[in-house]
Structure 1
Amino acid sequence: MKKYRGVFLKNSSEISLMREANLIVYEVLDALEAAVEPGVPTMEFEKIAVDICKKRKVKPAFLGYGGFPFTLCCSVNEEVVHGFPSSERKLVEGDIVSFDMGVIYQGFYGDSARTVAVGTIEPEVQKLLDVTRESLMKGIEKAVPGNTLFDISAAVQGHVQSHGFDVVRRFVGHGIGRRLHEKPEVPNFVPKGLPDIPLKPGMVLAIEPMVTMGSPDVEILSDQWTAVTKDRSLSGHFEHSVALTDNGPYILSRP
């Protein structure tokens, strides 16, 4: 594994292992999405994630990370990220629920997220989900050698803001590999006064727009983890782990 400006560049064997990790994450997210319906306690999703990790004999990436007490981040409506599954919280028609999931497979991490509608949602809320997902793909399109990191950031921010939404600044994407969070940070906006870096083959980035219908400002609840929008507007979250290759971006967390 080579290093470039503090960023670990992965070889083809390492990327193959990360591909396997991310396909397991994809399996978990698909199972979670299939289980979404009104009346389901969000703790049920934690059980599904735990069961698949046991079945696939992989370690959950988030459980115990920095003290996080669950396998799954499960965030509902105004919860942006790091929400706790709960036996008391039941999904309601019209909710949206974000699942963020990671696993460790043979020493390498996989990480991906998606936001799912609960039953029928309002057209503007569906637009929020569509734009967030589209902004992720816009960012991935720019994840090619020869571009710079902030080309990804600009693509995400531009698409989101052109549709009247905004991106959270407090949380950003990240490099990923033998550690869950590696360099570089991948902001979903173009930061002022920070150095940009060229993109190189072998980089693996977890690109993850978090998009709000209102203010991009967030606050942390009393559990010290759950991040919510300050104005309690709804938030969407989509994420893929992406390897940069000479042939373009390789989305590891999608079949």
Structure 2
Amino acid sequence: MNIGRNDKCWCKSGLKYKRCHLEFDEKLESLKLKGFEVPSQDMIKNKEQINCIRESAKINNAVLDHVAENIKEGMSTEEIDKLVYDYTISRGAIPAPLNFEGFPKSVCTSINEEICHGIPSKDIILKSGDIVNVDVSTIFNGYYSDASRMFMIGDVSNKAKKLVEVSKECLIKGVEAVKPWGFLGDIGAAVQEHAEKNGYSVVRDFGGHGVGIQFHEEPFVPHVGNKGEGVVLAPGMIFTIEPMINEGSPELFVDEENDWTAITEDGLLSSQWEYTILVTEDGIEILAK
């Protein structure tokens, strides 16, 4: 791209290039010449976009808080879906999963051995001992946010509690590994090390993703990896970290009946937490959680 110092910046901020992303681009070019993989321009959000994504995330967080206040033993996952739909619409937003590539509901509810993309149903009733992931994604004024939480229903076994706790720790380890001008592989390395240290495995078939302008954007965020490898984490990048941690093998299959729900191949438990992260000039901001 040929852009002059006094031309408007490519990020659509409206500022002159020299006052916006010139120094940023020079740093990326220097890293690229040294052999590092650098993010494309469409992975970088400007201040206006970041503010809009932040507003979407506020609603997403409020939806998850609403679920946390109401989820209980004996309710159906269809009732969770209704909670999410009604509350999201009441805030002037749209549930992002609804009709996304044919997904029929407003939220994903994945129970016990279900890894992700569980479909709410009036026939699925939460019972004591269940662990359930509620994955909420929100569109507000055209901007996307995404986060999930685990909930433990009634009297949960110690082994299930430990999995839920360690999977949250894996998320936090991944978040703590994000540094401006660090590397995507740092995230996966931190998650993998903590999971395996505790005797668990990390799902490789799914990962985090860029988010904000679209539901799923580049980069793909693996939860296994090596430090110092992968795309450079530049300020302005927004992506999810959402490790799926399995009690047994990382292998899975997708339910043939609905063609969505991923389930552990060995039938053992799985647990996932998800945050949306913004890389800033001096650290990170957790947008959705």
TM bucket (normalised to shorter chain) is over 0.9
* Alpha-carbon contact 1:186-1:207 (below 8 Å) kept: yes
Tell whether the 8 Å contact from 2:188 to 2:223 is kept in structure 1 after alignment: yes
Matched with 1:242 is: 277
Report the CA distance between 1:230 and its aligned residue.
0.6
Q: Does 1:251 align with 2:286?
A: yes
Q: Does residue 248 of structure 2 align to residue 214 of structure 1? A: yes
How far apart are residue 31 of structure 1 and its match? 1.4
Which residue of the partner structure matches residue 165 of structure 1?
Answer: 200
Amino acid at match of 2:187: I
Residue type of the partner of 1:218?
A: L
2:83 maps to 1:48: yes
Is 1:197 the counterpart of 2:211 in the alignment? no
> After superposition, what is the alpha-carbon deviation per residue over 1:140-178, rounded to whole angstroms, capped at 9, x for unaligned?
111111210000110111111111111111111001121
Under a length normalisation based on structure 2, what TM-score does the superposition of the two structures give?
Answer: 0.84
Q: TM-score, normalised by structure 1?
A: 0.95
Match for residue 61 of structure 2?
26
Q: Which runs of 5+ in 1 are unaligned?
A: none
Q: Greater Rg, structure 1 or structure 2?
A: 2
Distance 2:158 2:42 in 1: 41
RMSD between aligned residues: 1.5
Question: Match for 1:65 among 100, 107, 126?
Answer: 100
Equivalent pairs: percent with the same residue? 38
**Is the 2:43–2:219 contact (alpha carbons within 8 Å) kept by the matching residues of 1?**
no
Paired residues of 1:24 and 1:103 also in contact (CA < 8 A): yes
2:143 aligns with 108
Alpha-carbon distance, 1:247 to partner: 2.0
| C-alpha separation in 1, matches of 2:192 and 2:40 | 25
**Structure with the larger RCO, 1 or 2 (CA within 8 Å, 6+ apart):** 1
Maintained 8 Å contact 1:210/1:236: yes
Which residue does 2:110 correspond to in 1? 75
Where in structure 2 are there 5+ consecutive unaligned residues?
A: 1-9, 12-24, 26-38
Number of aligned residue pairs: give it: 251
Q: Which amino acid aligns with 1:183?
A: E
* Cα separation, 2, equivalents of 1:184 and 1:7: 10
Distance 2:169 2:179 in 1: 17
